[in-house]
Amino acid sequence: MLLVREATDRVAGGATRQAEAAQEQHQVRLIVRALAATQKKATRAIEKQAPPTSPAPA
């Protein structure tokens, strides 16, 4: 009976670790999306502030 309990505990532990990893992966995706959106906003703001640089007259 002890072997069955140990095997059950291992399977349950593996499933728990898989669920935790999936949750962490989801959180990382959300953070990456938020960073990308922030970067786009910052780039747009910078582009609005600085006029485009034109080549110097030759």
Q: What is the mean pLDDT of residues 14-31?
A: 93
User: Which whole-number Å values give the CA distances from 57 to 9, 36, 51, in the listed order?
Assistant: 75, 37, 17
Highest mean pLDDT among 12-16, 17-21, 39-43 belongs to 39-43
Is pLDDT at 10 greater than 90 in this prediction?
A: no
Residue 40, domain member (yes or no): yes
Residue 33, domain member (yes or no): yes
Residue 1, domain member (yes or no): no
Domain residue limits at 33: 14-49
Distance CA 25, CA 17 (A): 12
In which band, very low, low, confident or very high, does the pLDDT at 57 lie, cut at 50, 70 and 90?
A: low
Residue 9, domain member (yes or no): no
Q: For residue 43, which phi and psi values (nearest 5 degrees)?
A: -60, -45
Question: What's the pLDDT score for residue 56?
Answer: 65
Residue 26, domain member (yes or no): yes
Give residue 19's identity as a one-letter amino acid code.
A
Question: What's the pLDDT score for residue 2?
Answer: 76
Question: What's the pLDDT score for residue 12?
Answer: 82
* Domain count for the chain: 1
